[in-house]
Structure formats: structure tokens, C-alpha cells
């Protein structure tokens, strides 16, 4: 039975990892068809020279950085506040936003922005995408930072208060440094989920805010394309390393 | 403390209020209004949108969504349990094996779905290999059907059952398994009569954790499915883009949200969040 379980595990891990590995291998294929012909970097060269891709990648980066900074700051403060005393309404809506289907989140934000635009003279664009990304990554940040706070010894903070620190000083000088790895892990997670998102982004993006996942989606729709394999491999490699880093930080 | 705490919670409260609760409230209002002549809404109050959800066409899609999500959940549980069992017995390598399950989950859902298109399509890897080997003369129709959506969902959400199952297996009282063996139970009997029943909380939490996102799946049926595998998520998207019927799209969205909320409460009541 033990050997059977081991064999099964090999198959299960193959199922989880082979699709992306095969895609990565074929991104180096010199043929444009799915038949192996030899190693080549042609598709990477084509991907890096593509202006539309470059612009989309730049947009994605800007959006991910802006939304990560804001959601990490707001989410960390929120986690700390909830850790002091829970607020059913706030933690309830955070949990609910986590399980809300992405398509519903995207549509509801689209409807909301369109409604706001009746009163304000603005349009969909980078700013609406950034706001949407803050909204959905906030709950990830709160949950990761909260997990860190649960292992934090509250008496350390009490000691600081007893020794004459103000509440802000106790938070800033005692609690925050202890939370730092958790906050960094949360930020990396927020960054990857933002950089990755297609469904919500495609709903609230304007003409000037096409992101990398939107280009990937359009290319996937159009059919076989070895350049897409190369882009996918690059994205998975970069985001994958960020996730490994985030996991390391969470466990430290 | 209350002052600082309030100050700390305020920004998150504003964001969740303005960018999550208010949009849902607007959708709720829209769901009772009437579609305007050129899309948009007119202020005519009606309950028709909710009634339309149960028209045979949409009822069939709703039913299919439940069946799809249910089979994907079952698939995840069946495939996930032995994997969780393997990890829980892996000794010092446990953490590594667990990370290997979680890692793909966080790396781009879109690209992981595309990877299956690359494998399954007519000119994809599997068909190319089969054709080259002379096993088939025409590409097999692997993509754009229910099977492809099933594979995509199981592949996407397998980690969600492995984690809670692993957590319950870790807390399992090993003495009970030894007792079963001492009393003469063969390994298979110990597994089916003792171990699996004891893991019931993990199965329940894992099932809900997979079922909830599968119900709202959009990208998987959109990319891997065809016109006959439309799920609720696709109906919602369609109402806001091609069909331009916002009130009906809002009604479908809120119905989906209501189902998700009930399932979430079930999960929390069962203490599921502690298992993740």
C-alpha cells in the first residue's frame, strides 16, 4: 500500500506541475508547431521586441506596485485594529469579498464606476483598475498579517505601554518590526494577485490600461502562438519566485 | 486604544464600504429595475428579473453549473485524499511536498488554464503526439467540452482539498488506527472504516472550499468550454457585455452571491476556516 501511495503521489504531482513544465519546454522550441525541432530563443526575442506587450507589461507593473503599496498599508493597519478587537461587519465583508466570484466582483465594480461617472467627468482607466485591485487584494493582506499577529505575544506591547510608550510608539517600535516578515509576505502575495488578475481587470479597464493578462487572454483566444508560450513562461517564472519568497517569509 | 484602533480601521472600512458593499447594493437595486432601450436601466420596478432566472434556458444553465461544480468537487476529493495521506506520512519532507501542492495555485490562473489549451487543442501537444505516433488519424476533440472544463476545475482547485484534509490527518489520533490494526482490521478496512470517517471534517471543509469557487467559475468554462458548457459566471458576463441586460445580469449575480453566502456560513459554522 505504501508503494502504491508513492506512485500515486508521483502521478498527482505530475498532474499539478507537468502542464506548466511542458509549456515552458515548448517555449524554447524552434518550430512554431507543437512538434519538437530543437532549442531556440526566437519566441523570447519576439516577445521582448513586441511593443504592445511591453506597454501592457509596464501597465501591469504600475498597477501592481500602486495597488500593493496601498492595500499593504491599509490591510496591515486593519489587521492590527481587528486583532485588538474584532469588528463583525468589517471582518465579515473581508471574508465575503474573498469568496465572491471574481466575475461578480468585476461586474459590480463596473456598475459602480459607471454609476459614479454620471456625477463625475472621468472614464475607465488605470485609476479604476488600481482601485479594483486594492479592493480585492485587501482581504489577502489582512488574512496574512492577521496570521502573523496570532503568533505575536501581546504582553510585549503591554510591557512597552507600562514603560511609558504611547500606543502609537508601542505599535510602531514593538509590534510593527515583529510583523515585518508577515507584511512583506502579504505585499508579495498582493503583488502577484494584482499582476495576475484578468477577470476583474478586464471589466474595469479602459482603452489606455490594457494589462499583460489581458493581452495573454486575447492571444490564447486567437489560437496557437509560440510567443504566448514564451510570455507565459516568463510570467510564471517571475511570479513563482515571488510566491516562494512569500512562503519563506511567512514561515520565518 | 479605541481611538488609534478606529483610526487604523477607518481606511479599510471606507474601501470595503465604497468598493465592495456599495457596488453590491447598486447591483441589488438594479436587479429590481427594467432594462433600458439601449442597455442601462430605467426606473421601472419589477421582480421579473428573478423570475427569468428560472426560465427553462437559465434553469438548465444553473443546474449544469451545480452538476459541474459538484463533479469537480468530487474529483478533487477523490484525487486529493490520497495525496494528503501521502504528505502526512512523508516525515521531514512534509513541508516541501505541501509547498509543491500550493505553489501552482498561486501562479497565474489564466496561464495555467492556457497551459491546458496548449495540451488539449487540435494542434496541441496531446493530439500532435497521437497523430505523430499514428494512433489516431484525426485530432481527438479534447478541448471545448465538459471534460476539458472538468479537468481545468480539478487542476485549479485541487490544493483547496489537500490543505484541510492534510490538517485533519495530522490531528488524527494514531492510536485509533493501531487499535484497528491490533483488532485484526486489514489496511483497507482501517482506511475505509476508521480513517476516512475520522477525516469527515476535512472532507466537508475541502468540499465547500472547492464547490464555492467552482460555482462562480468564469475563466475555465470561458476558455476550455464550448457553447454547450456555459456556466452561471458566463451568463453574468454576457448580460453585461453582449446582451446588455444589466438588471437581469444583476439578478443572476445576486442569486449566485446568496448561494455563496449560505455556503460560506456553513463553512464558518463547521470551523472550516481554522483548517486552512
Put simply, whether A24 touches B (Cβ < 8 Å) is no
> How far is residue B127's CA from residue A239's CA, in Å, rounded to a whole number?
30
- Say yes or no: A10 contacts chain B, CB-CB below 8 A: no
Q: Which residues in chain A are closer than 8 Å to B26, comparing Cβ atoms?
A: 108, 111-112, 115
Task: Please give the mean pLDDT across all residues of chain B.
Answer: 90
Q: Residue B84: its pLDDT value, please?
A: 95
Scan for cell 505585499, then name that residue. A187
Could A239 and B85 be called an inter-chain contact, meaning their C-beta atoms sit closer than 8 Å?
no
For the residues B195-218, what does the mean pLDDT come to?
92
Quick one: CA dihedral A131, A135, A138, A140, positive or negative? negative
How much is the pLDDT for A1? 66
Q: Name the most confidently modeled range: A54-58, A119-123, B128-132.
A: A54-58
| Dist. CA A62–CA A14, nearest whole Å | 35
- Is the pLDDT assigned to residue B39 strictly greater than 70? no
Which residues lie closer than 8 Å to B162 by C-beta, 6 or more apart?
B80, B83, B84, B87, B98, B101, B206
The CA dihedral of B146, A236, A132, A96, to the nearest 10 degrees, is 60
Predicted confidence at residue B271, as pLDDT, reads: 61
The residues with which B37 forms a beta bridge, in sequence order, are B39
Residue A33 has pLDDT above 90, yes or no: no
What pLDDT band is residue A9 in, cutting at 50, 70 and 90?
very high
Residues A72-108 have pLDDT tens digits of: 999 999 999 999 888 999 999 999 999 899 999 999 9
Residue B141 forms contact with A (CB below 8 Å) = no
Mean pLDDT within A223-251: 88
Q: How far apart are CA B155 and CA B210, in angstroms?
A: 11
Report the C-alpha gap between A2 and A8 in whole angstroms.
10
What number is the average pLDDT over the span B105-119? 90
Q: Quick one: CA dihedral B12, B17, B23, B28, positive or negative?
A: positive
| Contact residues, chain B, for A23 at CB < 8 Å | 111, 114-115, 118
pLDDT at B275: 43
The stretch B191-220 carries a mean pLDDT of 92
Q: Is the pLDDT confidence value at A146 over 70? A: yes
Q: Is A154 within 8 Å of A91 (Cβ atoms)?
A: no
Q: Is A3 exposed, middle or buried (0-12, 13-18, 19+ CB in 10 A)?
A: exposed
| B218, B230 contact by CB (below 8 A) | no
Tell me what ipTM this predicted complex has.
Answer: 0.90
Q: What DSSP character marks residue A39?
A: B
Distance CA A7, CA A1 (A): 10
Q: How many CA within 13 A on the CB side of residue A151?
A: 11
Chain A residue numbers touching B247 (CB-CB < 8 A): none
A78 neighbors A84 (Cβ within 8 angstroms):
no
SS3 B42: strand
pLDDT of residue A103: 96
| CB B42 within 8 Å of CB B36 | yes
Give pLDDT, residue A3: 81
Question: What residues in A contact B155, CB-CB < 8 Å?
Answer: 15-16, 19
Mean pLDDT of B109-115: 93
Please give the average per-residue pLDDT across B46-59, as a whole number. 91
pLDDT of B1 reads 55
pTM: 0.91
Checking if the pLDDT of B94 tops 80, the result is yes
Packing angle of the helix pair B109-120, A2-26 (nearest 10 deg): 90
| Mean pLDDT, residues A145-171 | 91
DSSP B55: S
For the ranges A4-18, A21-35, B34-48, B130-144, the lowest mean pLDDT is seen at B34-48
> Please, what is the end-to-end C-alpha distance for chain A in angstroms?
35
What's the CA gap between B110 and A54, in Å, rounded? 19
Question: 3-state SS string over A71-129?
Answer: HHHHHHHHHHHHHHCCCHHHHHHHHHHHHCCHHHHHHHHHHHHHHHCCCCCCCCCHHHH
- Contact list in B for residue A90 (CB cut-off 8 A) is 9, 12-13, 16
Q: Measured on CA atoms in the order A70, A72, A78, A84, is the torsion positive or negative?
A: negative
In b/e form, how buried is each residue of B23-47, taking b as 16+ CB within 10 angstroms? bbebbebbbbbbbeeeeebeeeeee
Which residues lie below 8 Å from residue B197, measured CB to CB, with a gap of 6+?
none
Using the predicted structure, report yes or no on whether residue B146 has a pLDDT greater than 70.
yes
Where do we find the cell 472550499? B209
Reduced DSSP (H G I as helix, E B as strand, rest coil) percent helix, strand, coil of chain A, to 5: 80, 0, 20
- How much of chain A, in percent, has pLDDT values that exceed 70? 100
Return the pLDDT at B276.
41
CB atoms within 10 A of CB B11: 17
The tens digit of pLDDT for each residue in B149-163 reads 999 999 999 999 999
Is the CB of B135 inside 8 Å of chain A's CB atoms?
A: no
**B230 and chain A: CB distance < 8 Å anywhere?**
no
N-terminal to C-terminal alpha carbon distance within chain B: 31
In chain A, residues 195-214 whose CB comes closer than 8 Å to chain B: 196, 198-199, 203, 213
Verify whether the Cβ–Cβ distance A95 to B116 is below 8 Å: no
Q: Which of B199, B74, B108, B94 minimizes the C-alpha distance to A9?
A: B94
Report CB contact under 8 Å: A20, B216.
no
Distance CA A119, CA A137 (A): 27
Amino acid at each position: 500500500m505504501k508503494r502504491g501511495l508513492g506512485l500515486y503521489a508521483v502521478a498527482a504531482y505530475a498532474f499539478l506541475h507537468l502542464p506548466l513544465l511542458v509549456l515552458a519546454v515548448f517555449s524554447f522550441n524552434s518550430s512554431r508547431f507543437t512538434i519538437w525541432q530543437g532549442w531556440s530563443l526566437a519566441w523570447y526575442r519576439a516577445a521582448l521586441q513586441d511593443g504592445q506587450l511591453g506597454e501592457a507589461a509596464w501597465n501591469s507593473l504600475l498597477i501592481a506596485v500602486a495597488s500593493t503599496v496601498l492595500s499593504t498599508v491599509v490591510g496591515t493597519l486593519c489587521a492590527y485594529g481587528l486583532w485588538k478587537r474584532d469588528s463583525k461587519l468589517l471582518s465579515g465583508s473581508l471574508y465575503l469579498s474573498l469568496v465572491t466570484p471574481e466575475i461578480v466582483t468585476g461586474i459590480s465594480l463596473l456598475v459602480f464606476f459607471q454609476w459614479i461617472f454620471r456625477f463625475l467627468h472621468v472614464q475607465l482607466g488605470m485609476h479604476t483598475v488600481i482601485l479594483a485591485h486594492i479592493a480585492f487584494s485587501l482581504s489577502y493582506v489582512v488574512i496574512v498579517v492577521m496570521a502573523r499577529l496570532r503568533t505575536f505575544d501581546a504582553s510585549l506591547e503591554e510591557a512597552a505601554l507600562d514603560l511609558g510608550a504611547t500606543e502609537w510608539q508601542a505599535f510602531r517600535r514593538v509590534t510593527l518590526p515583529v510583523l515585518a516578515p508577515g507584511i512583506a509576505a502579504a505585499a508579495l502575495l498582493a503583488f502577484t494577485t494584482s499582476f495576475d488578475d484578468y477577470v476583474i481587470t478586464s471589466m474595469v479597464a479602459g482603452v489606455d490600461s490594457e494589462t499583460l493578462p489581458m493581452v495573454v487572454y486575447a492571444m490564447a483566444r486567437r489560437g496557437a502562438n509560440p510567443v504566448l508560450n514564451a510570455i507565459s513562461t516568463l510570467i510564471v517564472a517571475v511570479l513563482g519566485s515571488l510566491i516562494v519568497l512569500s512562503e519563506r517569509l511567512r514561515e520565518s | 486604544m479605541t481611538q488609534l484602533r478606529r483610526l487604523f480601521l477607518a481606511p479599510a472600512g471606507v474601501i470595503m464600504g465604497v468598493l465592495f458593499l456599495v457596488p453590491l447594493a447598486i447591483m441589488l437595486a438594479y436587479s429590481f429595475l427594467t432594462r433600458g432601450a439601449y442597455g442601462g436601466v430605467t426606473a421601472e420596478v419589477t421582480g421579473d428579473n428573478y423570475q427569468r432566472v428560472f426560465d427553462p434556458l437559465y434553469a438548465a444553465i444553473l443546474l449544469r453549473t451545480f452538476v459541474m461544480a459538484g463533479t469537480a468537487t468530487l474529483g478533487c476529493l477523490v484525487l486529493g485524499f490520497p495525496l494528503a495521506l501521502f504528505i502526512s506520512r512523508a516525515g521531514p519532507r512534509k513541508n516541501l511536498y505541501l509547498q509543491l501542492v500550493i505553489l501552482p495555485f498561486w501562479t497565474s490562473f489564466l496561464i495555467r488554464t492556457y497551459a491546458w489549451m496548449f495540451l488539449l487543442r487540435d494542434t496541441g501537444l496531446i493530439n500532435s503526439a497521437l497523430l505523430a505516433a499514428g494512433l489516431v488519424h484525426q485530432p481527438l476533440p479534447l478541448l471545448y467540452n465538459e471534460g476539458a472544463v472538468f479537468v481545468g476545475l480539478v487542476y485549479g482547485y485541487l490544493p483547496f482539498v489537500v490543505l484541510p484534509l492534510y490538517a485533519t490527518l495530522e490531528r488524527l489520533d494514531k492510536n485509533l488506527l493501531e487499535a484497528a490494526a491490533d483488532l485484526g482490521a486489514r489496511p483497507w478496512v482501517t482506511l475505509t472504516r476508521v480513517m476516512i470517517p475520522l477525516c469527515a471534517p476535512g472532507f466537508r471543509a475541502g468540499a465547500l472550499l472547492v464547490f464555492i469557487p467552482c460555482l462562480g467559475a468564469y475563466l475555465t468554462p470561458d476558455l476550455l468550454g464550448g457553447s454547450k458548457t456555459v456556466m452561471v459566471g458566463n451568463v453574468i458576463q454576457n448580460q453585461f457585455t453582449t446582451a446588455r441586460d444589466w438588471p437581469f445580469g444583476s439578478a443572476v449575480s445576486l442569486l449566485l452571491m446568496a448561494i455563496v453566502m449560505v455556503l460560506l456560513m456553513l463553512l464558518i459554522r463547521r470551523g472550516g476556516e481554522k483548517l486552512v
